[in-house]
Structure 1
Amino acid sequence: MPRQPLALAPFRGLRYTDLDVGRILDSGEFEVANLLAPPYDIPGPEETLELLRSDPHNAAYLTVPYQLNLTMPGSCGGQPARFIYEKAAARLNTWIDDGVLAQDPEAALYVYEQVTVDGTRQRGLIGALSLPSSTAPGPVRPHEQVEHGPVGDRTLLMSSTRANLEPIFLLYPGGNGAATQITEDAGNHGELLVETHTADGTRHRLWAMTDPATHAEIEADLAPRTALIADGHHRYAAYQRMHEYGDDPGWAYGLAYLVDSDANPPALNAIHRVVPKLTADQAAESARSVARVERLDASCLPEAERTLAKAKHPALLLADPSGGFHLVSGFNPRRLAEAAPSRSDAYRELPTTALHHVLLPLWDIPDHRVRMVHDDSAEAIEAARQGEGTAVIVPPLSVEQVYAVAEHGELTPRKSTSFGPKPRSGLVMRVLP
């Protein structure tokens, strides 16, 4: 059976009505876009509370309603899950009725650009991704395992709100094709709708392209290509579930941000772990039975991370919150083969494979008790200090490692990668009629 083409359909985006072009303060300082939020699974409870306090209409009120129920002062935990998502749906509808959010008058494909403070620039297309049927192979390849809980969470939110509130993040090798050329020349193909800056200094710009001829040119260029999920595996699985079981043809599509990795090479950061109630010395001593463990003389975290970067795969760093680091490397190949049978060498060389298949079972720590910390190793160490545990510093994978695993038809362990910069939630949303 032939593969379904890669296709982004234009749609009428739902957007905040007061995110206008060029909103920079008279003082010359950047405006903080207090309506936008990171993807739903990035902020912890404290950061979520900061987002909620930043503006009564911040997108986090919609995307993380369960955290809202737990973190807001005076809130009551333990409410039925369906009630929490129904409240998010009611809030979304109220914002639409009050004019806080409004749909654009014409269907469009959107060009979204991010420029970070270090000059990193990423630009891609936002559209309604056509989802494959259950009988036809699709053009989108996942590379990471998913869990039922987060998939169910996103499915409940989508079914309650009848909306895609934030896009998944896809990469594809565009090879300077027509879609890439049009995206790079967005100023001549569309209208600039938004130019704003978030608190981290990143500039966000959004253009709308409404010309059907432009849509057709993009459609023809994308059709033979394939894409890799960079971020949003659980949301994509929820898209597929809604497509299969939803009662509306609109669920044959899901909101996606598609970036040409040739024109915009992504940053690939690590997701570190915090293991509770386990000291670094205990973890290191136990790990000696399956790997080589070396206590480092490193006087600071950057020095220890440089040593980790030079170590042979797979390798990890155990960080004691009070100071001190252990390098864990040279894992027993037989133990890795026994822990991950019928897997490729590329899979067994991943640091997260060694962690999730070997070390966590050795420490008798279930995966659901491990906290994830995106990108910031110092934050992971501080979280370990607060939780009286150990920070496991994970080296970032390379894009080549991710593609190698995907080419074998395998999925990396959950939360193995953190591609960036990630699209901000709330910039453009998709609602079903």
Structure 2
Amino acid sequence: MDVIEQTLQVSKCKLLHHFQVAASTNNLLLYRIEGLQNGEYHQITGILTQFNNRCWRVPVYPHEQVDYQKVCDIQQSITKSKAINTPSYFVTKSDSYPKKKLDVLFDSGTLIAKFTNNALSHSVVCMHDADHIKEVISAIECIEDFLIADGHHRFTAYQQQVNSGIETVRSLPVFITHASQARVKSFELICRLTANFNWQRFAQYIRQLGLLSCNRSIADYLITYQNEQLAVAFDSRINRQDDTKRAGYHFELIIEKLTGFSGIDFISSEALEFYEENNEANSQLGSRSHQYLFIKTKSPSIDTIYQDAINGYLCPKKSTCFLFKPHEDIIDYLQQELRVAS
């Protein structure tokens, strides 16, 4: 985390665990994330609070499947550390969400910390005015439902702990904002290839799936291999019974159809992690570029994800990535600053 500015007026924001919306009117933490996305400035402002399973009475819908081994790993971590410090990310489409009010309050709040990470600016302010806090709490309590944008594994681990009757932690840190402020993209798929892979045979197979070459701007899939690139979209003449409208359809279909294809060893949605670990883009893999193929899938809309979640449909695990999400170390960071200031 590259800290470029810190304002540590934290004496009035007594203890971090007091920022639970449902239980405290002493203070309220507002969190703003802003920066460029695809060359355009974007800003979201939300509430940094706590989710307590015993206090919240509205539905919280997951939209993505989870890896239960990862859930077990988080459970073990919770047991060891007695805490969950990485916030989950909730969004809502409710008209009750006080978006305009929060924007105004943020600009008048006490700035606790400000830092940059991956070119995005993160700012946290603390509200102390009891009337304003009560107004925000009243609005939040009128919200009909929430969608988990990020943090499914943490949420599941917390829920399992509560359901088991073992309260290692009493609540889960969450960042809440309106769905209209959120941005989402599909994770890029990475395919590890074997010596049997043949690009021409692969491109022919793709077209046999009812996918037609098209302009990149309207592509359902953008496939890159070495210096080759293939942009394809679904053939509108083929009746797919609206399957393409489901949030996870593109992701599910390409994984299903390429699993077992000659020359493809395995397919993973961890392309982003791959880039970070190798510190290079797919166009810069050099002598190893023949070993990998990359697939970008068309991103679903947040409205589609939300409605599918309400209807009980879950996207494949690691298929969507909500952008402008809270920094994973924001709670640890704030707690450290509180200790330094005390």
TM-score range, shorter chain: 0.7 to 0.9
Higher relative CO (Cα under 8 Å, sequence separation at least 6) belongs to: 2
Q: CA separation of 1:345/1:293 partners in 2, compared to 1, >3 Å: closer, same or farther?
A: closer
- Give the direction of change, closer, same or farther, for the CA distance of 1:250–1:217 in structure 2 (3 Å limit): farther
* CA shift in 2, pair 1:228/1:167, >3 Å: same
Residue 361 of structure 1 deviates from its aligned partner by: 5.0
Within the alignment, does 1:240 sit opposite 2:152 as a pair? Answer: no
Q: How does 1:408-419 map to 2 (within 5 A)?
A: 408-419=311-322
Match of 2:88 in 1: 168
Counterpart Cα distance in 1 of 2:285 and 2:84: 32
Asked if 1:324 is matched to 2:223, the reply is: no
Task: For residues 319-373 of structure 1, give each alpha carbon's deviation from its aligned partner in whole angstroms, at most 9, with x where no partner exists.
Answer: 112x112234437999978xxxxx9663287311212333335569687x52523
What per-residue deviation string (whole Å, max 9, x for no partner) do you get for residues 20-53 of structure 1?
A: 318xxxxxxxxxxxxxxxxxxxxxxxxxxxxxxx
Q: Structure 1 length normalisation: TM-score?
A: 0.60
Query: Cα offset for 1:394?
Result: 1.7
- 1:191 corresponding residue in structure 2: 110
CA 1:106–1:257: 2 relative to 1, 3 Å:
closer
Tell me the SS of whatever aligns to 1:112. Answer: strand
TM-score (norm 2): 0.74
Aligned to 2:150: 231
Q: 1:260-409 maps to which residues of 2 (within 5 A)? A: 260-262=178-180, 265-278=181-194, 279=197, 281=199, 282-292=201-211, 294=213, 307-311=215-219, 315-321=220-226, 323-330=227-234, 346-347=245-246, 350-362=249-261, 370-374=268-272, 379-380=281-282, 382=284, 385-386=288-289, 388-409=291-312
Offset at residue 216 of structure 1 (A): 3.5
Partner of 2:77: 157
Quick one: which amino acid aligns to residue 230 of structure 1?
A
User: What residue number does 1:65 align with?
Assistant: none
The 3 A distance-change label for structure 1 pair 354 and 344 is closer
1:70-85 to structure 2, matched below 5 A, reads none
1:190 Cα offset (Å): 3.8
Structure 1 gaps, min length 5: 1-17, 23-101, 297-306, 338-342
Give the aligned CA root-mean-square deviation in angstroms: 3.9
Query: Which has the larger displacement, 344-353 or 160-169?
Result: 344-353
Give the aligned partner of residue 42 of structure 2.
120
| Residue matched to 2:7 | 21
Specify whether residues 132 and 373 from structure 1 end up closer, same or farther in structure 2 by C-alpha distance, changes over 3 A only: farther
Distance of 1:144 and 1:174 partners within structure 2: 21
Q: How many residues align?
A: 308
Q: Could you tell me how far apart the structure 2 residues matched to 1:250 and 1:110 are?
A: 20
Q: Distance in 1 between matches of 2:62 and 2:298?
A: 21
Cα deviation, residue 209, structure 1: 2.7
**Percent of pairs identical after alignment?**
17
